[in-house]
Amino acid sequence: MIKESVLNTNEASQIFHIEAGDYFIATIKSGSYFRIVDLEGNQAADTLFYNANKPSERYSATDTIREQGNVYLTAGSELRTNENNVMITIEADTCGRHDTLGGACATESNTIRYDLEKRCMHACRDSWMLAIAENPEYGLSKRDISHNINFFMNVPVTEEGGLTFEDGISGAGKYVEMKAQMDIVILISNCPQLNNPCNGYNPTPINLLVLEA
């Protein structure tokens, strides 16, 4: 569902620029709004969320999908944790649909899907692992790398029940805006994938704006 934001981005307290292939990790306070902007279009932002005060409570695709009865995420979606609490609400969305079924790219899946020689290519899972290794203060470990959201990524479910990675429906400047309903940690891998059309074969940067409560 396309829904424009009512917020004034001039009031953003922080703007982070995340290059293609980089990770980003930060804490966002309950009640704050945050916006992810697809600067050039057709980028995939592979994102994990945690309860900042209890990292074992984290975003759950299964709880979110079950409760909303819809596999796609957009304005109006409530992002739920593995304890079935609402951690984030999507308040505005100019892209219209985001994936939470496709998972993140990994060297293993690159090898299976594309070619053995793709094994050494940079993948989202590696970016997350680097993020938690370089930022131990968040208390995250390998076991916490779980379900994720692929903001701006187009992964339609076929009539036969299959999944396909399709050319994006996002475009330059499209954004998704959310409100933290608890203190959260956001961990993004700005996807470096070059083998499927989720990035238009050309990974590009994103911005993250935070409007504090």
Residue of the chain from 64, 110, 193, 199 that contacts Zn ion (CB under 5 A)? 193
Q: Which is nearer to Zn ion, 129 or 191 (CB)?
A: 191
CB of 86 to Zn ion, least distance (A): 26
Decide: is 190 part of the binding site for Zn ion (CB under 5 A).
Answer: no
State the Cα torsion 100-200-178-19 to the nearest 10°: 120
Decide: is 155 part of the binding site for Zn ion (CB under 5 A).
Answer: no
Nearest to 88 by CA among 101, 97, 98, 75: 75
Distance (Å, rounded) from C-alpha 209 to C-alpha 68?
26
Long-range own/partner contacts, residues 160-166 (CB < 8 A, 24 or more apart): 163/101, 163/102, 165/102, 165/196, 165/197, 165/198, 166/197
CB of 193 to Zn ion, least distance (A): 4
Burial of 167 (0-12, 13-18, 19+ CB in 10 A): exposed
Residues 45 to 84 in contact with Zn ion, rule: CB under 5 A: none
How many residues of this chain bind Zn ion (CB under 5 A)?
Answer: 4
Q: Which is nearer to Zn ion, 36 or 124 (CB)?
A: 124
Residue of the chain from 45, 95, 124, 149 that contacts Zn ion (CB under 5 A)? 124
Residue of the chain from 45, 105, 131, 155 that contacts Zn ion (CB under 5 A)? 105
Residue of the chain from 25, 129, 191, 211 that contacts Zn ion (CB under 5 A)? 191
Q: Which is nearer to Zn ion, 33 or 203 (CB)?
A: 203
